[in-house]
């Protein structure tokens, strides 16, 4: 892990903050670049802004130039080029989006037009992004899904139309970029309901069919531990596992 330089998108969200908590406990830490919206840097825990292994870079997701700088080595060479991008980005729940059936997807657009092109330009070869089983489902999975999961995947469609549009657009943009750029080792990890409980809960990764033994809840810290393991093990490269706690 100490040879990695990870750029984290969504560091200021609940899963991003759980990621920073887990990192703070690691004996061997990766270098970290936290790419955050200018208005959100104050949400980061104070220890992250005074840590020599972490740099905070402010910019909007559509700013390709700022992204390229964030993926590149620092001028003083204390940070090498980014090796891995991890995204916990997603839309917030909003009553207005439910009522107006808003399906806009600015984050997915940024992936398509700025983040993934910058990843390619800067030769970053590994990207792991968060999506959901509702937003992205393989055709063969749809036929083999249990009734429980079918019902479960309907809920975000009704209550989070914008969040679902973002999750769908992000997964599709990453998979499409991976198809064009065969050096890109992508993983789309699909999460169910996120919670803040047991950080050491076992995480099951698999396909969304009747063989899946995971539940419909996932603790954020256990998700973070799974993502960090996957960065090292590369077990799910070019695949989209569904995750759930045992």
Ligand X SMILES: NC(=O)c1ccc[n+]([C@@H]2O[C@H](COP(=O)([O-])OP(=O)(O)OC[C@H]3O[C@@H](n4cnc5c(N)ncnc54)[C@H](OP(=O)(O)O)[C@@H]3O)[C@@H](O)[C@H]2O)c1
Shorter beta-carbon distance to ligand X: residue 16 or 30? 16
CA angle 2, 48, 31 (to 5 degrees): 20
Minimum distance, C-beta of residue 184 to ligand X, in the bound complex (Å): 22
Shortest-Cβ-distance residue relative to ligand X: 13
60: three-class secondary structure by DSSP: coil
The neighbour count for residue 47, using CB atoms within 10 Å, is 10
Q: Minimum Å distance from CB 65 to ligand X? A: 17
Which residue lies nearer to ligand X by CB, 132 or 187? 132
Backbone angles phi, psi at 169, to 5 degrees: -65, -40
Q: How far is the CB of 116 from ligand X (least distance, A)?
A: 15
Q: Identify which of residues 9 and 184 has a Cβ nearer to ligand X in the complex.
A: 9
Which string of DSSP letters, residue by residue, matches 186-211? EEEEE--EEES--TT--EEEE-SSTT
Smallest distance from the beta carbon of 67 to ligand X, in angstroms? 12
The C-alpha atoms of residue 122 and residue 83 are separated, in whole angstroms, by 10
CB of 231 to ligand X, least distance (A): 18
**Closer residue to ligand X, CB minimum distance, 3 or 203:** 203
Footprint of ligand X on this chain (CB under 6 A)? 10, 12-16, 37, 40, 43, 61, 88-92, 106-107, 130, 132, 163, 191, 193-194
Residue 167 or residue 184: which is nearer to ligand X going by CB? Answer: 167
What lies within 8 Å, CB to CB, of 242 at 6+ separation is 133, 190, 192, 205, 206, 207, 208, 212, 214
């Amino acid at each position: 892990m100490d040879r990695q330089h990870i750029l984290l998108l969504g560091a200021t969200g609940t899963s991003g903050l759980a990621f920073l908590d887990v990192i703070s406990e690691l004996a061997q830490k990766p270098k970290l670049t936290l790419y955050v919206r200018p208005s959100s840097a104050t949400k980061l825990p104070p220890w992250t802004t005074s840590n020599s292994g972490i740099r905070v870079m402010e910019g909007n997701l559509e700013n390709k130039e700022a992204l390229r700088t964030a993926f590149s080595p620092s001028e003083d060479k204390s940070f090498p080029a980014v090796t891995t991008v991890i995204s916990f980005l997603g839309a917030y729940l909003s009553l207005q989006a439910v009522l107006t059936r808003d399906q806009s997807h600015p984050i997915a657009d940024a992936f398509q037009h700025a983040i993934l092109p910058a990843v390619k330009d800067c030769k970053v070869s590994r990207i792991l992004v968060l999506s959901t089983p509702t937003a992205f489902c393989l055709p063969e999975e749809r036929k083999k899904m249990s009734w429980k999961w079918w019902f479960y995947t309907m809920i975000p469609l009704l209550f989070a139309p914008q969040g679902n549009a973002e999750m769908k657009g992000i997964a599709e943009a990453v998979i499409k970029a991976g198809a064009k750029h065969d050096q890109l080792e992508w993983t789309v990890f699909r999460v169910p309901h996120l919670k803040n409980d047991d950080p050491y809960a076992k995480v099951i990764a698999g396909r969304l069919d009747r063989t899946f033994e995971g539940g419909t809840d996932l603790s954020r810290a256990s998700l973070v531990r799974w993502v960090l393991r996957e960065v090292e093990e590369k077990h799910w490269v070019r695949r989209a596992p569904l995750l759930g706690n045992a």
